[in-house]
Amino acid sequence: MQTRQLLPDELNWVKVSGVSWAGKGFYYSGYDAPKTGENSLAGKNEYHKVYYHQLGTAQTADKLVYEDKTKALGFRIAGVTDDERFLFLSLTDSKADGNKLLVRDLTDPKQANTWVTVQTSYEFDTSVVGNVGGELLVYTNDHAPNFKVVRIDPRHPQPASWKTVIPEAKEKLEGISQAAGSLLATYLHDASSLVKVYSEDGAYKYDVELPAIGTAAGFGGRRTDKDLYYAFTSFTYPTTIYKYDPATNQSTVFKAPTVDVKPAEYLTTQVFYASKDGTKIPMFITHKKGVKLTGKNPTYLYAYGGFNVSLTPGFSAARMLWLENGGVLAIPNLRGGGEYGEAWHKAGMTPNKQNVFDDFIAAAEYLKVLNYTDADHLAIAGGSNGGLLVGATMTQRPDLCKVAFPAVGVMDMLRYQKFTIGWNWAPEYGTSDDKAQFANLYQFSPLHTLKPGTAYPATLITTADHDDRVVPAHSFKFAAQLQADQAGNNPTLIRIDVNAGHGAGKSTKLQIDEWADIWSFAFYNMGVNLK
């Protein structure tokens, strides 16, 4: 960092990995190099391992820290506490939705090659926040669907010996960090952040005052620091870094972006609408103040609905073009996400996946009832699991919208588990290897529910040639079948980025080019002229 020169160290075949610094190197996870003839982009990833790399050495000299030769499918990810006393491992299983947790005291010679199992079940999500002396602070939904924080002595790791530090609350505890001698707990209240400060023994201090309704994240720092930092963002509030002093409960702007956006010129409201089964679903709606609601406003409906992911308010410079041209942005928090804890997640996974599509369809219909838009001026969008959402919605309700944007979507639900890390999604979706799950998947698999001679929306499918998470074959097959089955004049196009992957790390130029194509496609097919 002092010289800002790139080090010669280079690591290959690192995937589903963090970087946990310790001593003169770091822990990371990866796979063996593909064997001759194996497809490195589409082949199934098996036998995840944890290594320690010392800076200045070759990867071939890296120390193997953990492997399980009896378990081909699952992730193994290492972490280290801030004081480098404890090394911990998160282990997942392809048939479950949580993780086991192992820990080793690096200061105890007796534990040099011994792991203590802190969480024995794959059923729950369990992770280490930090430590206070010889005890671990652990974040878990073990018998607490909205999560809690407990203190665990690795010498007595049995759940009966766990001490509750922050109990489960009505709101979901979305995240927890240990910094500056405090615990900072980020809760979700109707999909927006609410941050509370506690002492390390769990005594409540106060709430952090945030600039507006939105998303706060980070709160990073060392336990011994006096200050820490967090980021705040919302739909029309560019991501801003704040410096926070827990002693005074004061936040000051540390770094604000130079983006010419005036939040006061926009309006964001949150509504709650009824889905098909009557469940109330929250949705954020944003547009420029003064926009007249004609029932024909161009509207971009974006969602995800899966994997316990919470879709909270966030700024996107690309979306500002849409809003500047009189567009409406609508983001519903569908079941399958994590906005209301594990019960909300389970209501949209495996046999309940149809709830997610019903929630999305109901959001579109509600926008029409509120006179925001109509079918000719509505675009639906989503990426990855959200690409599946768009694909399933447009095949079930081709009359719902004018434009569809399924991005890097899981379109073949009968074979997804056969490629790269697709096996990891089995707890969320189920697999075609099971007879009952096959029947459920077949009912909504976008590739298999297209019907010849149907007038589908104008569709721009996006993928990338090096996507090794959701392999591009999903999009290729869906595009080909949709082109064959499409009736009417609505176009079906596929856009393939070259030398790009699932989306993360995409260059600014590639992002600009992609968004230019997306908005051009939307405005053109809706018959809307740019200002």
Residues annotated as catalytic (active site), given as ranges: 384, 502
Distance CA 75, CA 45 (A): 10
Most distant CA pair in the chain, distance:
72
State whether residue 495 is helix, strand or coil.
Answer: strand
Side chain identity, residue 346: K
Contact 248, 254 (CB under 8 A): no
Contact 360, 379 (CB under 8 A): no
Side chain identity, residue 433: D
Distance CA 63, CA 322 (A): 50
Tell me the backbone φ, ψ of residue 188, rounded to 5 degrees: -110, 120
Distance CA 79, CA 127 (A): 9
The CA angle 361-365-370, to the nearest 5 degrees, is 145
Tell me the backbone φ, ψ of residue 75, rounded to 5 degrees: -105, 150
Please compute, for residue 384, the number of CA atoms within 13 A of its CA located in the half-sphere on the CB side. Answer: 14
The CA angle 5-6-10, to the nearest 5 degrees, is 160
Contact 256, 240 (CB under 8 A): yes
Distance CA 503, CA 515 (A): 13
Radius of gyration (Cα) for the chain, nearest Å? 24
State whether residue 29 is helix, strand or coil.
Answer: strand
Handedness of CA 485, 489, 490, 493 (dihedral sign): positive
Distance CA 15, CA 27 (A): 13
Distance CA 219, CA 195 (A): 10
Could you tell me which residues come within 8 angstroms of residue 407 by beta carbon, excluding any fewer than 6 positions away? 381, 382, 383, 384, 386, 387, 390, 461, 462, 463, 503
Q: Which two tokens stand for residue 248?
A: 């005074």
Please compute, for residue 100, the number of CA atoms within 13 A of its CA located in the half-sphere on the CB side. Answer: 15
Q: Which two tokens stand for residue 364?
A: 């579109």
